[in-house]
A and B are shown apart, each in its own frame.
Chain A
Amino acid sequence: MITFPGSNCDHDALEVFASRGHDSRLVWHKGRDLQNPDLVVLPGGFSYGDYLRCGALARFSPIVNEVLAFAQKGGLVLGICNGFQILTECGLLPGTLLMNSGLDFICRHQRVRVETSATAFTEGIPAGTVLDIPIAHKDGNYFCDDTVYNELRDANRIVFRYCDAAGITTLEANPNGSRDNIAGICDASGRILGMMPHPERSATDAVVSQDGKRIFDALESHFGLGG
């Protein structure tokens, strides 16, 4: 878990991984040693106070060069919320998270539909599965041009879409104006995932929805653990 100045979901993510028996650590953004991880998480929050653009300044933290190198070698990277914004600003994922179309900060439960199980993060979750995972953001309105959109769609790189309880991706179920209800996308290898919903906020017994556990289950099964 990388902690940037302004990250505020790093401990939540740490807690989830630790509670599942994994050796998980926080790594300060000024560090230069990722400590040889299996997975890097860029957590939610407001890195650098969201100054200039969300995620724009985090790109210049020393640790990000290590994350880029790790990703280039095929390492798994999960960007949640602000982490997703950072991934787009770093160029690891295409597109941009713009301000929500309704201008509000939205913090609530949200249904998302899993669109593909061909990623390390959704392995074993059948496409079409509806998960209840909370969202909490003001800039989650995914924007990309037609070329990028077609590429994402055709290569099955749209991983999550906002939907209603029945799994229909209606306009009403889209909380933020995101293009084609996109809630999460991955890179071409399925090893770098950016998502606006917070699986770490729905993955412990203390909270109402535990659907986020499915993502962590999938990751464990990717590494041949659990199940």
Chain B
Amino acid sequence: MILARIYVCLKPNVLDPQGKAVTNSLRQLGYASVAETRVSKYIEISFDTSNREQAKLETERICRDLLANPNTEHYSFTLEDKEGGKA
């Protein structure tokens, strides 16, 4: 099995009101040095294959087709081998 760890983040030019609210809360908690917070999505996908190249291509396609909205978000991911698969 191969595990894809996918991060979908708002592009830097897109306002992140959730991140702003978290920053404000952190400052209220006394974390005065917090300059900015961005809230993102983290998604895990397990692939039933040991073919890294295939998993990479599919993850790319999945991100483009569904997980990220290209208007407002960008994505990145890492792949790692995972125990317990058939492959």
- Contact call B17/A102, Cβ cutoff below 8 A: yes
Chain B residues within CB distance 8 Å of chain A: 14-15, 17-18, 21, 41, 66-67, 69, 71-72
Give which listed residue, A53, A101, A144, contacts B15 with CB less than 8 A.
A101
Contact indicator B17/A143 (Cβ below 8 Å): no
When chains A and B are docked, how far (Å) is the Cα of A144 from the Cα of B66?
19
Q: Which of A28-36, A64-72, A91-99, A165-173 contacts B (4 or more CB under 8 A)?
A: A91-99
Q: In the complex the two chains form, is B72's CB within 8 Å of A96's CB?
A: yes
Contact size class for A? 10 to 19
Interface contact B15-A177, CB-CB below 8 Å = yes
Any B CB within 8 A of the CB of A100: yes
List 23 contacting pairs A-B, 8 Å CB cutoff, sorted by A. A52-B66, A53-B69, A56-B66, A89-B69, A94-B71, A95-B71, A96-B69, A96-B71, A96-B72, A98-B14, A98-B72, A99-B17, A99-B18, A101-B15, A101-B17, A102-B17, A103-B17, A103-B18, A103-B21, A143-B71, A143-B72, A177-B15, A177-B17
* B75 to A: closest C-beta gap in Å: 12
Given contacts A52-B67, A53-B69, A144-B71, 14 further A-B contacts (CB under 8 A): A52-B41, A52-B66, A94-B71, A96-B71, A96-B72, A98-B14, A98-B15, A98-B72, A99-B17, A99-B18, A101-B15, A103-B18, A103-B21, A143-B14
Using CB atoms, name the residue of chain B closest to A60: B66
Report B-chain residues with C-beta under 8 Å of the C-beta of A99. Answer: 17-18
User: Which chain A residue shows the least CB distance to B41?
Assistant: A52
User: How close is A27's CB to chain B, nearest CB, in angstroms?
Assistant: 24
Interface of A is mostly: loop
Collect the chain B residues with CB atoms within 8 Å of residue A89's CB: 69
Inter-chain CA distance A103–B67, complex, in Å, is 22
Residues of B within 8 A of A143 (CB): 14, 71-72
A154: chain B residues within 8 A (beta carbon): none
Residues on B with beta carbons closer than 8 Å to the beta carbon of A53: 69
Q: A205 contacts the other chain (Cβ, under 8 Å)? A: no
Chain A hits for B67, CB < 8 A: 52
Separation of A95 and B41 alpha carbons in the complex (Å): 20
A145 at the interface (CB under 8 A from B): yes
Which residues of A from 97 to 143 have beta carbons under 8 Å from B?
A: 98-103, 143
Instruction: Enumerate A4-50 residues with CB–CB distance to B below 8 Å.
Output: none
The CA-CA distance from A102 to B21 in the complex, in Å, is 9
Contact partners of A94 in chain B: CB under 8 A: 71
Closest residue of chain A to B71, judged by CB?
A96
What residues of chain A lie closer than 8 Å to B66, measured between beta carbons? 52, 56
Q: In whole angstroms, how far apart are the Cα atoms of A101 and B71 in the complex?
A: 17
Query: Roughly how many angstroms separate A53 CA and B69 CA in the complex, as a whole number?
Result: 8
In the assembly, what is the distance between CA of A178 and CA of B38, in Å?
A: 20
A177 CA to B69 CA in the complex, in Å? Answer: 19
Q: How far does the alpha carbon of A177 sit from the alpha carbon of B20 in the complex, in Å?
A: 14
The residues of A that contact B14 with a CB separation of less than 8 Å are: 98, 143
